[in-house]
Amino acid sequence: MYSPDADGLLAEQLLRLTRRLHRSQKRQLESADIAITPAQSRLLRTVAHYDTPPRMADLAARLEVVPRAVTSLVDGLEASGRVRRVPDPASRRVVRIELTDAGRDTLRQLRTARRAAAEDILAPLTAEQREVLGGLLSALVDGSPEHHC
């Protein structure tokens, strides 16, 4: 029989697993000599999802942060050569954020580090167990009632 206390335990296990995944990914990045913060990493991934370079306001809205936070992140990524500010062709007052080749390379390295960290954590599971876990996590991420038992 499932008890409400089990939800608390599951939440704690998910948090511990998330921390372990982040630590493993951080070690992978450090061994590849990549210095990037989690927030900068998230901004790079967000910029990459746009078909055309996004405006700072678009990034702030997508990341659910204040525009000043995006400015600070872009400043750091621009200093490291991973993004550049470009003028909007339709309005000179608008600035767009564009990935550079170094930014695309960093994204590739981030994906490699994330995959390696996941492989490390998922190593004890069989392929079938991984598939079941993937389905369960998708149901949680989607949050759709039809995914719940």
Domains present along the chain, CATH in parentheses: 37-120 (1.10.10.10)
Give the pLDDT confidence of 85-124 residue by residue, as tens digits: 999 888 888 899 999 999 999 999 999 888 988 998 999 9
Q: Is the pTM of this model over 0.95?
A: no
Give the pLDDT confidence of 1-14 residue by residue, as tens digits: 667 687 888 889 99
* Residue for token pair 């695309």: 104
How big is the CA angle at 110 (ends 128 and 144), to the nearest 5 degrees? 50
| Gap between the Cα atoms of 62 and 133, Å rounded | 28
